[in-house]
Every structure is written in C-alpha cells, then in structure tokens.
Structure 1
Amino acid sequence: MSLIGGILNIGLTDQETDEASAERIRVVNAISALTAVLVIVYGIVFYTISGALGILLPAICMGVGFCAVLYANYLHHYRWAKVGLQCIFATVILYYGIFLGRLANAQLLAVFMISLSLLIFTRQEKIIRAVCVMLPLLGLVVVELNDLFHWYAPLRLTDMQQYIFRWLIMAVVLTLNFLVIYFYQRHFTRLLTAIKLQTATLSYTVEQRTAELQQTVIQLDKSNVSKTIFLQETSHEIRNALHAISGITQLLRHEQQLRPAGGEAYQLIENLSSISNALSEIINNVLELSRIEAGHTSDLHEVCFSLHEWLHSIINIYQYTTRLKKITLLLSIAPTVPPYIIIDRIRLRQVVNNLLTNAIKYTATYKNITLLCFINEGRLCLQVKDEGIGIPREKLEAIFNPFEQAHTPVYGSSGLGLTIAMRMSKMLGGHIQINSQLGEGTTITVSLPLKEGTAAMVEEASTDMLFQPVLQDARILLMEDDPLNQVIMQRMLQQMGVSDIVLVDNGEEGLSLAQTMLPDLIIMDMQMPQLSGWKVIYQIRQDPFLKHIPVLATSANAFKEQKDEALAAGIDEYLTKPIAYDVLYKLLKKHLLQTAFF
C-alpha cells in the first residue's frame, strides 16, 4: 500500500493545499502507472501469441511514455503531464486501431479519453480540454476511413488469436472506463461532503446570526419601550407646565380683547403666546416623529376648506414673530389656484408651519420670506422661499434626516421640522424638492395632489372668537388635581360665561358629586389621585343616570394610542394639553347644544 500511495502522490508537496488539484494529480498518476504496466504486459503477451514486433515495440515505447507522464508530475509540470497522457492515448487509438482493426475497440477507448479529459482539466483550461476531447474523435475518423478505404491492412490473425485479443483488449478498456467512473464517484462524493460541510457551517452561522438578531430585536424593543415611556413622561410634565403658560397667555389675550391695555402689555402677551406656540410645536414634532418611526401613523381626515383664507390665517399667525426679527413675510397666490380644496388640513398645516418656522430661524434681519401657492402639472404646489444663509450642497440630501442641521445649532433649531414636513408630505401623497445657494437663501417646494372643492362642501364656520357669555346656564363638573390648572380652567370657563362650576381634585370625590348633582358636562383630567380618569369614566358609563352626560378628558399624554383608548372607554372628547381656548369653547357648545342652553 505504501508503494501505491507513493505512486499516487508523485508530484504532490506538503504545501499543496488545493484538494481538488491534488485529486486531479492523483488521477493522472493512477491512470499513467496502471496503463504503463498494462501496455507493456499486454505487448509481451500479444507478441508471444502472434510473434508480431509491431505490437511489442510500440507497446514498450508507449509504456515509457506513460512513465514520462509520472516524471512530469514529479517535476511539477502538471499541465504537461495531463496533455502528454491524452496524446499517448490518442496515439494508442490511432496506431492500434489501424494495426489491429476492429479488435482494438477504439470506440470504447475514445469514450474513456473524453471522460478523462472532462475529469482532469479545469474550467480555466477549457481550450486545452476541448483540444484533448477532439483528439480521440479525430483518431476514430482516421481509423474508420482506413477501414473503409483499406489504406493499411490490419494484422492477420487466426480466429483463436482474434478471440483472445478481443477479450483481453476489451478487459483493459473496460477497466480503464471503470477506473474513470470510480474517480468521478470520488469527485462527486468529495463535492457532496464539501457542500454538506458548507451547509452545516452556514446553518450554524445563520443560527448564530439569528440568535444575535433576536437579542438585538429584544434590546431594540426594550429601548423602544424605554423611549416611549420616557417620551410619555417627559411630554406629560412639559405639557402640564406648558398648559399653565399657554392658559394664562390665552386668558390675558382674551382679557386684552375685552379691555384693551397699553401697547407694552399687548407686546408682552404676544411674546409669551409666540414662545408658547413654538414650544408646543417642538413637542408635537418630537412625538410625531416617534409615532412615524413606530409605524403608528393616523389615517388622513380630508375636509373641504377655503385655501385662500387658510393661507392668509397662516401668514397672520407668523406676522408677529417676523416683525420681531424685522423680516418681511409675503404671500403670493396664483390666479389659477382654486378657492376651495379637499385635503387633510391638520397635516397640511404641519407641513407649512414647519417650513415657515425653519425659514424664519435661518433668515437674517431685513430679509424677505415668501409663501407662494400655485398649480404645476395639475398638482397643488406650496413654496417657501427665503433669503437666509442657505444650505451647503453636500448637506441637501441629509437635511431631511431627523435631528440633522445644516449649520451649528446657534439658531435654536431642533432639527425635526424638515423631517416632519417631508414625512407629512408623503402621507398626503406628495413630495418635497429643495434648492439652495449659500448666502442667497433656500427654496423648498411641496407638490401635492389637487382635489378641488366647492363652497357648499365647506364645514360651518366657528363662532365668534370673542366668546360672548352664552354658557351661563350650564352646570359643569371640573375634576383637576393640579392647583394651577384648576385656576386656569376655572377662569377659562368663567370667561366663556359659565358661572356654575363645581371643582374637585380627585376622581373619587368627582364621581360621588356627579352622582348627586347630575352635571350637564364633565371635564376631567385622566390622571387623578384616589380614582383615575379611566376608572371614573367606566363608572359613569355604567351608571344609568350618568351615562348620557358628555365627558371631556384633558391629558398631557398626546400619544394617539392613549387618545384612541380613551375614546373607546367612553370619553366624548380628548383634549391634549396645552388646551386651546377656542377649541374648548367649540366643544362646550357642541355638547351642550343638545340640552338647549343656547
């Protein structure tokens, strides 16, 4: 076995790492060594039987040639060894096919040669392989032509000699073919083993990666939960404080409308209102981005409204802020813009508010900002054009990413405005285009689908903003545990004309009072001591004497899931702090109308 192993490994070195190449070298060595022995032994046997030197001498030469193939592998001339092996076999087909005629079984030997060529040559040697495949075919053609035209007469043998020669030659040729089949089987087995090993390795890697991903998902879920809790708690605390600031400001503005004071007081009130609105917008942007990233976006609520009036109201809101910065805010509406459109007004306001806020922050004193509205290719376009500092070209694409700013944060930007504007535009079926030149300004264009409306489709306008005292006959139960919020809500209701207000600071007392006084409307905070707003509303909707009473919930939790849960529990309206004065007034009228207090 050591001798056979030594022959098979001729030419292999310890540095040989490619198992496929080593296997091909072993195939060449095995075929060469076996054939060298067979051709010499058969040459001597055939010479003994026939006495023809034409069999013996070529057999010895060919045996030496097969040994030369082994020597070529020993010298590491692997390609020459493979080519030499095929050339010698082609010589065997050509010579013995003519010399012995049909006894040589040249066809079976040609099949062996073709199979061997496909086994020992690689894809990189496809040209050499093709030539070596053609060699036995060309040899067969010459042999067949010789048999047809009798150019050279084959060796004459007796019937017994022919019988012996045919079976001996067939045994050799079949042995060689079986040997090639064996090597093919070894080759496929090795490939199959490699595939199984690779598959097992991949499966193990996939399992590892899957486990890592599962851990990552778990960590992300925990992070998302922590982030949500943090946002809820932070938003709740900020909105409570902001509700106090905003409530006082709205009370002062209303007092200013009823009894105008000096110009300085009016300016201070407007300043406070502007700051309150800016803070509320920032909080809303953070929560909106959180909802979008979590995939919790609300459905669109399309309404018909006057676009021209709406745009003028938007401009009026920002006029005070721009006057403080000595910026001129202009509005231009093209004649082709329809007077009424159908769209989600809240989402559209988020888009325009964020674009205008962004433009005001980055525009210097004595510059202009223009809001243009026009129609382009059947789509509604809103364009905010400023004369600000501009955005570097390399940051134009990234500027819509969350918390991304084109400049250092000296301008007081949260980096969320453009992100919200872009995502709201996509929700409305539109897109945003931005052009900017450093030192000259930025133009942002929002293109939206256009759905025209009519005056008949417009919802009934809201009542007079001076809030005449028309609610004096209403009895309202107010449940609020925060002392400052109690004062603000009570003053708001009093300014709206409500005189019969019963105030409690916990849910348990509020529910008991509701059962005895049967109020016309209940306003309650959802987070109260002793008995939360959730438990109170459950008890109210179960009580046959209370279940018809409209309940307005106030909460600093602005998450949509919380609102949906409250509405499902039986709340009639869900007001997010800070509560807008006019919104509260409209809701009071809406729910008290049915009891004929107007």
Structure 2
Amino acid sequence: MSDPLLPVNETERLQHLHELAILDSGRDAAFDRLTELARDLFDTPIALVSLVDKNRQWFKSEQGFNCTETHRDISFCSHAISLGENLIIPDTLADEQFRDNPLVTGERSIRFYAGIPISISDGLHLGSFCILDTRPRTLSAREVLRLEQLARQAEELIRLHQQTLILAREKNEVGISRARYRAIVDSAAAGIIRINHLGTILEVNPFAQQLLDYSEEELKGQNVKVIMPNPWAREHDDYLSRFMQSGQAKIIGKGREVEARRKDGTRLPIHLGVSEVHSNQPEERQFIGILSDLQDVRAAQRAEQQEKALLKILHQGLTDYQALLSKDKLWAFLMEALRELTDSEYAFIGEVLLVDGRKALKLHAITDLSWSKESKLLMDKLVAGDMLLSNPDTLIGKVFADEELIIDNKMQERFENSHLPPGHPELYRYMGVPIFDQGEVIGMFAIANGQKDYQPELAEWLNPFTSTCALLIRLYRQMHEREQINGQLRQARDAAQQASQAKSEFLSSMSHELRTPMNAILGFAQLLQSGKHPLTDRQQRHVKQIYKSGQHLLALINDVLDLARIEAGRISVSLESLNVREMMLDALAGLQPIADQYQILLQPDESTDQTIWVTADYTRCQQVLINLVTNAIKYNRPEGQVFIRCKTQGNQLRIEVEDTGEGISSDQLEQLFQPFSRLGAENSAIEGTGIGLALSQQLVELMQGRIGVESEEHKGSCFWFTLPLADQSSAEHHNPTQKTDAEQKGIHLLYVEDNPANQRLLKAFVDEHPAYRLSLASSAEIALEMAASDIPDLILMDLDLPGITGVQAQKMLSRNPLTRKIPVIAVSAAASDKCRSELMSDGFIDYLNKPLDLDQLLQTLQKQLEH
C-alpha cells in the first residue's frame, strides 16, 4: 500500500478547510439526503461526504460506513484530492496501490471505490463525494456524470455552510436560515418543493419547474396533488391529515421511488425524499420534498432486463437446440422470442436456398397470418417447405436477394395495403434482417407491427440473435447431412455385421473341428508317456515327438484363431487386479525346460516388489510374457541370457524382456508386429508361426497397454510392454491354499461327451487315478437320467452336444431338487466361445478348454472337490 501524496498546496488547503469550521460539525440532513440518494441511485451499501484533515479523513455525512472518521494514511479520498480528479477503482484487489489497504483486507472488505473531489475554491480540494461497495463493479459514463452532479450538490451545501458562517457575522439567526435555505433551493441539483400542512405549494425551485414542465406561477397556490398521478394523488390528503394528527410517518424522513405527473399528463419516475420544517404552531408546519429524476435509471434497468431476456433466449436456443429440433419446435421458439423481444405482432424466420441458381426463401416458422381456409393451406405449405418465396422485388425479397436491411415504418401511407390480398391482416411497420454467415446470406428474419417505429439500432442490438440464427441454420444443415450419412453408415454397418457373423460362425466351426481331434492326440500321448505300461526308449522318443508336434500344432491353431477373433471383435479380456511377481513366476516356471534345452540362463528380476499389482487379464498377460520370453530364448546365442525386469513409470508398469542374441536391424523393426512375418527365420531350424508378436500387440492393447522393442544388431534386443498399475487399496492378495489329494476320496465323475475318442481319453485318465469312478453319457438326455439316479460328485459337461446343449442341460440340472447342488464344469473345443463370466452366470463352476491338459484337469478336479 502506497501512502497518498500531499497536494502541493497542502498548507493553504488545510487553512481553507479549517476556516470553514465544518470539521466535527453535527449531522446535516441535506448532506445525509444526498448520500442516501447516492446509495439508492447507485445501489451501493456506502456513500460518504469526506473531508481530509491533516491526519484524518472526517465524514460530514456517511451512509453504511458506521464511523465518523479514519486515518488519512488509509484513506482513498486522500488519493483523490492528491490527483485533483475523479478516482474510480473498479476492483481494489486487482489494484496494486490498494490491494493491501486495511479497508480492503479488513472486515469492511471494500472492493469498489468511486470518488469525486469537492472544492469551493479553485485548486483547494477539501475532500470527496464517494460511493463504496463490497463487490467489484464499473460505472458507465452516465453514472459518472450523475455522481459528479451529486458532488457538485455537496459543494453547494458546503458553500451554503460557508455562506452561513459569513452571514452569521452580519445577520441574525433568522436571516442566516433563510439564506441557507435559499442557497439550497436555488442551486440544488434536484427538484425541491415546499408545501404547507394543507398540501398547498408554497415554493418550487428551478430544477423542479424544468423537471415537471411547469412555471413557478402555475404551481404556487395549487395543491401538491396536481403533480401526482393516482394512486398517490388520491391518498395524499388523507395521509397528510393523519400525519398532522398522529405524527406517524410513512414517507416523511424517508425516501422512496414514486411517479410524478408532468403538465402534459405524462408520468416520470422519481425518487422522493420528504422532510418536515418543524414549528411550534401547527398552522405554520411545512414540508420540503426533494425530487430526483430516475428516468435514466429506469431506462438502464429496462435495457438490462432486455439484455437478460435476449441472453436467456440465446442460451436456451443453443443448449436445447437438439431437443427443440427433434420436436420441430426450435424455429417456432426463436420466432416467438423475437416477437416478445421487439414488441412485434408478427414475425418469421427463414433459410435461403439455391434453386436453379437463384435464391429462394424457405420459411421455418411464421406467425399465423391466415384469414381463410385457403390462406391457412398456403401458410402450411410455406412452413412445410412445399412452397418457397422467390420474388426478389418484394420487401422480403430485397432482404434475402439483395442482402439489405429493410425498414419501413409507413407501410400504410406508402402502399395503403394495396399490395396485400383481400382479408390479409393490416401491416404498418416492417423490418427485415438478413442473416449472414462468412459473408453469405443464408437466411433472414422479419418482424412487423411493432409498438413503436423500428430503427437500425434495433437490428444492431439483435446482432447476437442474428448470429445465433446463423449458427443454428448451419447446425440444422449439418444434422440433415449427418442423417443422410448415418443412413449410408447403417447400410454399411449391416453389411459388416453380416460379414462378421459369417466370420464368427466359421471361426467357431473351425475351432471345434480342429481342436476336437487334437484333444485325443495330445491326451493319449500324455497317457502313453505316463502310463502303467512302460514304453521302450524308441517308443518314448516317438511319443514325445508326437506330443511335441501336437503342442506346436495346437499353439499354431490357438494363435491363428485368437488373432482372427480379435480382428472380428470376438475376443475380450477380463481386467482385474493381479500380482505381477506371482504372474511372472508362474509364467517362467513352465519356460525353464525350454531354456535348458537351448542352454539359456533365465535371469528374472528378484527385486520385483511383491506388492506391485496391475490391472490386466491374468491368462492373456501370461500369454504375452511367455511369448516374449520364448522368442528371447529361441533367438538367443548359445549359453546366452534372458533378463526379465519391471519398472514403474508414472501410473504404468513396464515389463522388459532383454536377450543377448544377434539383435534386429533398423529396417526390420517396422515388420516385427506384422502377422506371419518371421524376418527370414522361416528358413531356419527355429520353430514359429510368425503371429506371436502380432497377437501379443493386440492383447496388450486390449489390456490398455503398449508394446514395443529396442534393438541393435549384434547387441541383442529388449522387448517391453506396459500395463496400468492397479489401485493398491483394492488389490486383493490371495494366499495359496493347501490342496487336498483327491485320490483320498471316493469320487464319482460323470463325463457328458458325444465323441468316443474323448470318452476313451478320460477313461484312460481315470484308469491312472483309481480313486476316481467314471460314468459316461453320450447325450444330455442320458446324463440327466443318470445324474438323478446315481448322483455324481462332479459333472464334466461338454457344451457342444447333439440335441440338448450343455448350457441347456446345466439349467435343467439346476431346476431339479435332486441335482441342483451338483458342481458342473464346462468343457468345450470352441476356444472360449462363451467367456468365463457368461458361463459362470449360467451356473457352471469352472471351464476347461479342449484339448484337455491332463495335469490342469487333475488340479481343477482337486480344487473344486475340496469345497
């Protein structure tokens, strides 16, 4: 806060102020009425007449400040007299000079200040007439002028005070009072009328004469009701009589807004403040009324109300345009709003179209001008767009064709309505406004029969409305174009859905047909390897090769089908919180034999935090990691190494798989994630399909992550993928449970399967585990009877059965009281045609995919039968 500078004539100024003997004088009703009037006119909580002494500012009158003086150092008025000009601070907090002023930061919280220096001698500023507010605001030029007028009135009152001092030395007390009153009356910047106790006008000052358009002779001796419209005139005498008898005042000593009546009978808004001139004799009691013209204030209020109404209409039109358009109410809404805004009887809004190279007008909304059945049909055609207006030589045509603003306030005199058809409503005022968009007329609106003549300023005031119409016409056109495009897109979508459905059906069929024989091949190979009857070494090698080749073929089938399902949008991921360390250990455990075969050392990051959780699909995440590590093993050098690391990057976890192989050249990097691209390795002894990386990329992106590679020839490669970190508070840490050996129980299994090879496989599996007892059913119908008569401990249900499907059979089992509690595991060769969550909702407790992994089957049986 900077201290106010002292005026150059400070000594002379203080001497002049003290000579006036006004400091610390009593309250003055005239000053108080001025500050009260200022508060009412400007709607501010505080108005002051401030006089600046040597170390203080003292208030001759204050309204709303609730103290008589403040220190000069924090005074706003001190700055005003230092400058010697008007000081207006719209927002004190935004002003470097005042933002830390105690009056701003303290409990008064002054945010706005406007002060007019007051002086009765050139250059000697005594103080200021000011208004203050606790909220930021601005003043218009007219408001500043009005504040200056009040300041001049304050100066006149100070002069009056000065004159009173002078007259006190020369005249008696009565003469001084008359001089003061005369000074107020003659020089006041407000109307002053003095009446007696009967309401008779005794005196009228020049300002009041000019305001009411009366001469003093015309008013003196008249009852004051002559300048009052009803109801005030009707009630005035009774009110004055009651006041004289009881002394109870409703107006006297207060101020309020009323209306006055001019000589010509017109009414004008005023602020009226009434004071009583006290006398011991009732017949000598008189009253003084101060009239302030509120015409400018009321005009500003009306303009503000109109602006608010316009903004409200534009806001609703823009925010609700889709709903209004969908109900065909937008243009009617805007047209009615236009009529109300302009006080017009008729209106229309139209869009300009090009028809055969010529402009024509399509009406979107028009006030009903019909006067007959035929004219009503005509109006309906115009609004429906079945008829366009194209004549450029009419008052309408000149707007949309010649792009002109047309105003005609004398249509009756010029045309005598001869240009209108018989019966057409009479038109006498008209304004047509073109709607421009990027220099082109795209529409127009027109209004007619306003309450007063149309002026170009009205069209200018309606510019926001015009711009809104231009925007909505563009949106209207875009919506129609979009509707056409959407129709074409719907046709293309239907065709794509048909193609996708055909592809999905083909994938389902291929999955079943390929995986069903693989189930028997791999199953019996596993049984031969671990059967009761040992094989010769040669037979073991042959069986091992069968199993290895079968696994390779199954991986190829799985990858191809997974990639095809992703492209068809048929594969989904189940995103849940999973522990990264556990997932990595599970994945790497199965890769150690491959690493040993290739003489590769796996180096997992042992420092991986046990508490790191990501949001991902456990199975798909393992699939990606296994694919990357397998590639790092196969494409490494002998006795090489593979490093697996984890790094957090913001809200993502980056998993890296780095090898010590030969690396990849820069020109081959872009081909890495292309399906069936093996970068020349297809001619090597390294097994692979060329689709693992492409499938991994698709799966990572489905899990909301990214995948990439960093490589340099002869220096190895680093493949990485990212996954979003899970919310630690919601991550569930699952402790491994101790599994119970199922062989210790007498367990009855019912296997529902129509394929004999698969039946033989499971029978051979059970032969290896004598604690299980197996029943076979080749159809759901047989299975339902068997389950009810000899209740099994668990049912393995193939989903693709002849007749009743596996899903239908499960629903029937759940409705039967005898079988509803039997746990049922779904088995299918359709490669997860139904996702796990859907099968769980159908009542299955788990899901096994063909070809059956016998180790996984055993673990699943043990896990489910423990509960």
Q: TM-score, normalised by structure 2?
A: 0.41
Within the alignment, does 1:371 sit opposite 2:371 as a pair?
no
Task: Please say which of residues 493-502 and 280-289 is displaced more in the overlay.
Answer: 280-289
Q: Aligned to 1:532, which of 805, 814, 824?
A: 805
Letter in 1 for 2:559: N
Match of 1:215 among 484, 491, 495: 491
- Match of residue 474, structure 1, among 747, 757, 776: 747
Asked if 1:252 corresponds to 2:528, the answer is yes
Change (3 A) 1:222 1:366: same
SS at match of 2:508: helix
Greater relative contact order: 1 or 2 (C-alpha under 8 angstroms, separation 6 or more)?
A: 1
State the AA in 2 paired with 1:223. Answer: A
Name the structure 1 match of 2:340: none
Counterpart AA for 1:442: S
- Identify the residue that residue 43 of structure 1 maps to in structure 2: none
Contact 1:287 1:559 in 2 (8 A): no
Q: How does 1:300-379 map to 2 (within 5 A)?
A: 300-304=575-579, 307=582, 311=584, 314-315=587-588, 317-321=590-594, 327-339=598-610, 341-343=612-614, 345-360=618-633, 363=635, 366=638, 368-375=640-647
Match of 1:593 in 2: 866
SS at match of 1:328: coil
Report if aligned partners of 1:291, 1:297 keep a CA contact under 8 Å in 2. Answer: no
Find the partner of 2:657 among 381, 384, 387: 384
Segment drifting more, 211-220 vs 347-356: 211-220
**Matched positions, count:** 404
**1:484 has 2:760 as partner:** no
**Contact residue 435 and residue 443 of structure 2 kept, 8 A:** no
The 5 A counterparts of 1:238-249 are 238-249=514-525
| Residue equivalent to 2:707 | 432
Alignment of 1:508-547 (within 5 A): 508-547=781-820
Identity %: 25
Change (3 A) 1:427 1:200: closer
CA distance in 2, matches of 1:272, 1:375: 41
- 1:434 alignment partner, SS class: strand
| Cα distance change of structure 1 residues 333 and 364 upon mapping to structure 2, 3 Å threshold | closer
Q: Partner letter of residue 534 of structure 1?
A: V
Query: Which residue in the other structure is 2:830 paired with?
Result: 557
1:406-443 deviation digits (Å, cap 9, x = unpaired): 44754664443223333444555653331123465432
Q: Distance in 1 between matches of 2:442 and 2:399?
A: 20
Which blocks of at least 5 consecutive residues in structure 1 are unaligned?
Answer: 1-178
CA distances 1:249-280 after superposition (whole Å, capped 9, x unpaired): 3323433xx77766555554444444444444
Offset at residue 234 of structure 1 (A): 0.7
Deviations 1:155-213 (A, max 9, x none): xxxxxxxxxxxxxxxxxxxxxxxx99996549999944799999999899766654443
Shift of 1:372: 2.4
Contact preservation (8 Å) 1:322, 1:360: yes
2: CA distance, partners of 1:377 / 1:216: 42
Shift of 1:535: 2.7
Residue 500 of structure 2 is matched in structure 1 by 224
The whole-number CA distance in structure 1 between the counterparts of 2:514 and 2:542 is: 22
> Is the Cα–Cα contact under 8 Å of residues 748 and 793 in structure 2 kept in the other structure?
yes
User: 1:487, CA displacement in angstroms?
Assistant: 0.7
Give me the TM-score of the superposition, normalised by structure 1. 0.57
Match of 2:352 in 1: none
Counterpart position of 1:581: 854
Range moving further from structure 2, 225-234 or 383-392: 383-392
Residue 692 of structure 2 is aligned to residue 417 of structure 1: yes
- The 5 Å alignment of 1:53-132 reads none
**Residue of 687, 701, 720 corresponding to 1:445:** 720
Contact 2:504–2:570, Cα closer than 8 Å, also in 1: no
> In 1, Cα distance between the equivalents of 2:483 and 2:610?
61
User: CA contact under 8 A between 2:519 and 2:852: conserved in structure 1?
Assistant: yes
The one-letter amino acid of 2:655's match is L
Amino acid at match of 1:332: Q
* Superposition CA RMSD, Å: 4.3
**Could you report, residue by residue, the CA deviation over 1:6-44 in whole angstroms, capped at 9, with x for unpaired residues?**
xxxxxxxxxxxxxxxxxxxxxxxxxxxxxxxxxxxxxxx
User: Does the 8 A contact of 1:422 with 1:432 survive in 2?
Assistant: yes
| Contact 2:520–2:758 (CA under 8 A) maintained in structure 1 | yes
More strand by share: 2
Q: Does structure 2 conserve the Cα–Cα contact (< 8 Å) formed by 1:389 and 1:439?
A: yes
* 280-289 or 215-224: bigger deviation: 280-289
Does 2:672 align with 1:399?
yes
CA, structure 1 residues 194+525, in 2 after alignment: closer, same or farther (shift >3 Å)?
same
- Map 1:255-274; keep pairs closer than 5 Å: 255=531, 264-274=538-548
Q: Which residue is 2:767 aligned to?
A: 494
Q: CA deviation at 1:355?
A: 0.9
Q: Secondary structure in 1 aligned to 2:575?
A: coil
- Range with bigger deviation, 392-401 or 180-189: 180-189
Q: CA deviation at 1:231?
A: 1.1
Matched letter for residue 228 of structure 1: S
- Aligned partner letter, 2:493: V
Contact persistence 1:433–1:446 (CA under 8 A): yes
Q: 1:531 to 1:578 in 2, by over 3 A?
A: same
Separation in 1, partners of 2:621, 2:401: 76
My pick for the range that moved more, 219-228 or 192-201, is: 192-201
Distance 1:383 1:252, change over 3 A: farther
**Structure 2 CA distance, aligned partners of 1:412 and 1:198?**
61
Matched residue of 1:399: which SS? coil
Q: Is the 8 A contact 1:305 1:458 kept in 2?
A: no
